[in-house]
Amino acid sequence: MKRRNDIRNVAIIAHVDHGKTTLVDSLIKFSGQFRESQLQQECILDSNDQERERGITILAKNIALTYGDTKINIIDTPGHADFGGEVERVLRMADGALVLVDSFEGPRPQTRFVLQKALEVGLQPLVVVNKIDRPDARPLDVLNETFDLFVELGADDATLDFPYVFASGRSGYASHDPATRSGDIRPLLDLIIERIPGPEVDEEAPLQYMVTSLTYSEFVGRIATGRISCGKIKTGQTISLMKADGSIKNEKVVALEVFDKLGRTPVQEATAGDIVAITGLSKPEIGDTVADPAFPKAMPRISVDEPTISMVFTINSSPFAGAKEGGGKYLTTRHLRDRLDRELESNVALRVTEASDKEAFNVSGRGVLHLSVLIEQMRREGYELSVGKPQVIRKRIDGKIYEPFEILVVDVPQNEVGPVMEIVGNRRGEVTNMTTNSTGMSHLEFSIPARGLIGIRTRMLNATRGEAIIHHQFDCYKPIEGDVPRRANGVLVSQERGKVVAFALGKLQERSELFVAPGDEVYEGMIVGENSRDTDMVVNPIREKKLTNMRASGSDENIILKPPRRLSLEAALEYIEDDEYVEVTPSIIRLRKIRLTETERKQHSRGSVTE
């Protein structure tokens, strides 16, 4: 075995919003290898539409920079807990990790998660205390907190002697002095070359390469990305593809590419330590091993943490399914199955099983955001579907039922601590830590059942006037707790199909909050508002004023309507109850009852009582 000094494979890991993608921007701009047109936008690697709109990284991405005589392969990873599967699968490609920590916030739940995964696979950490130009920065304290986190995670003495640097990704400089406010990013690149080792390789050993990422091209099919652990790969070479079930298929490498700048460059040969993309394999899957046909030996498959949240995906059965204006192109169960199967190829943290109803699927993921990103992507691709209420996935251990618990971290002004404690306490949360810093912000940590988190974000932001900063991370499974309060209010359900009339809404808004506006199309069973009481109420939102040929002074009145409450996809998923669906189409998101007619709902409720 020998080490390659001409290459460094580095993953960038951190909590959400600690500046990973912005730091990559600085590295890209400093390298001087890119055209001006490629550097126009911020967060250059966040190329996905949803990533730009949400301001978060969803998919891990690879780029390559040259610094001196060394090629640096950089893997940018998501910071949100729901996309932890993306982090887990790509860490196998790296030899070191840049651990970014915000100079004010310090280590957060996702910092703990990704650092633990990095230490498990033996990566060399390099701590970057980022955003040191914040007015409230406390870089030295944060560095000490990061050291304490390493100790908690059981790091050995060699790992505890980790290198570190202070930086501002947005301003584009790094320094060993936390008081520095100028310069360039060179000190960080020097530290990467000096302290992160090159890959340890054996070029003469039989070929071994694990597929850790998949992309799809309409022209060449699936493109498998991974790192060569041993041996060499050549274009046109015959290889053995080793599957999860133990089967071995001989395939031919049609094209071989290495990462270069923001894209890929074709090569004839790649050796151990290189991160390469292979084209021509018929049906590669994440975790498959590409091996030498003469010595086929599989590598240990990628294992990721189990999903904690499940939702029902089914066809859109509403009267407006496939509507001419704004309707979808893909409406059937077959379309839905094919799309979910395609998602499973690249989304390692996702699980899909067929429900008892043949037209429905149970889709499981890491959280509501993880699944809502998939739903939003499907909506933009032209799919119509109905989605049920998120449910936690429980386990039976030693005859007892266990449920997932999460660590909930809330930062909030001191005067807003009361409402936060009340909301979390009502949802079976327990305080595990509580501190207050010099700026008057309180830092609260809770242990809370995962089902208690469903809908908590909207409620907490409303209670704290938008000042709460909320993060959560899976912790463990514990014995099931008591009931968690459901939605406090019932809903208004339309009993007719047609266009909403202002006259009808004028009467309804006195006792409710409306989700529709005059002119909106509604149908029987569609939810049009929130009732002021805790029961559902059937209403007629299309009722018009009766016209007569008698006119009297003062009989006409101006109807002043409050603006309707429009729910985003995540808010809608958190709002619904067990007997309701979110109807998702390319143009609109609606709420509806699963059983559209009042007669069906009454019959079902009587049957439930009888049982």
Answer whether residue 17 shows pLDDT above 90.
no
Answer whether residue 387 shows pLDDT above 90.
yes
What percent of the chain is predicted at pLDDT more than 90?
10
94: closest CA among 231, 224, 215, 213?
213
Domain 2-199 in this protein, CATH class: alpha beta
Look at 271 and 39; give whichever has higher pLDDT: 271
Average pLDDT over residues 34-62: 62
Dig out the tokens for 288 from the structure: 């498959």
What confidence tens digit (pLDDT) does each residue in 104-163 have? Answer: 888 887 888 888 888 888 889 999 999 898 888 888 999 999 999 999 888 888 889 999
Looking at the chain, which residues constitute the CATH 2.40.30.10 domain(s)? 202-291
CA distance 454 to 110: 19
SS3 6: coil
* Binding annotation: 17-22, 130-133
What percent of the chain is predicted at pLDDT more than 70?
92
Looking at the chain, which residues constitute the CATH 3.40.50.300 domain(s)? 2-199
Q: Name the DSSP class of 576.
A: -
Residue 562 burial (CB count, 10 A): 10
Range from 35-44, 64-73, 109-118, 292-301 carrying the lowest mean pLDDT: 35-44
**Interior/surface letters 300-328, b for 16+ CB within 10 angstroms, e for the rest:** eebebeebbbbbbbbbbebebbebeeebb
Mean pLDDT of the chain: 84
Look at 392 and 221; give whichever has higher pLDDT: 392
Answer whether residue 18 shows pLDDT above 90.
no
Residue 44 is predicted with a pLDDT of 56
Alpha helix positions (H), 58-108: 84-90
Residue 54 is predicted with a pLDDT of 67
Average pLDDT over residues 34-53: 58
One of 3.40.50.1820, 3.30.365.10, 2.40.50.250, 2.40.50.100 is the CATH number of 491-547+556-608, namely 2.40.50.250
What confidence tens digit (pLDDT) does each residue in 209-264 have? Answer: 888 888 877 777 788 888 888 888 999 889 888 888 888 888 888 889 888 877 78
Range from 189-193, 212-216, 324-328, 512-516 carrying the lowest mean pLDDT: 324-328
What confidence tens digit (pLDDT) does each residue in 395-404 have? Answer: 888 888 888 8
Look at 92 and 310; give whichever has higher pLDDT: 310
From residue 76, give the alpha-carbon distance in Å to each of 25, 456, 457.
11, 30, 27
Looking at the chain, which residues constitute the CATH 2.40.50.250 domain(s)? 491-547+556-608
* Binding annotation for GTP: 17-22, 130-133
Average pLDDT over residues 464-492: 83
Q: What CATH number has the domain spanning 397-479?
A: 3.30.70.240
Residue 171 is predicted with a pLDDT of 87
Q: Which residues contact 99 (CB under 8 A, 6 or more apart)?
A: 13, 14, 111, 114, 115, 118, 125, 126, 127, 128, 146
pTM of the predicted model over 0.95: no
Average pLDDT over residues 447-475: 84
pLDDT grade, residue 48 (50/70/90)? low
Answer whether residue 556 shows pLDDT above 60.
no
Q: What CATH number has the domain spanning 202-291?
A: 2.40.30.10
Answer whether residue 460 shows pLDDT above 90.
no
Average pLDDT over residues 447-463: 85
SS3 292: coil
Average pLDDT over residues 65-83: 82
Dig out the tokens for 339 from the structure: 């799309």
pLDDT grade, residue 553 (50/70/90)? very low
269: closest CA among 310, 211, 216, 228?
228
Residue 549 is predicted with a pLDDT of 60
CA distance 276 to 271: 9
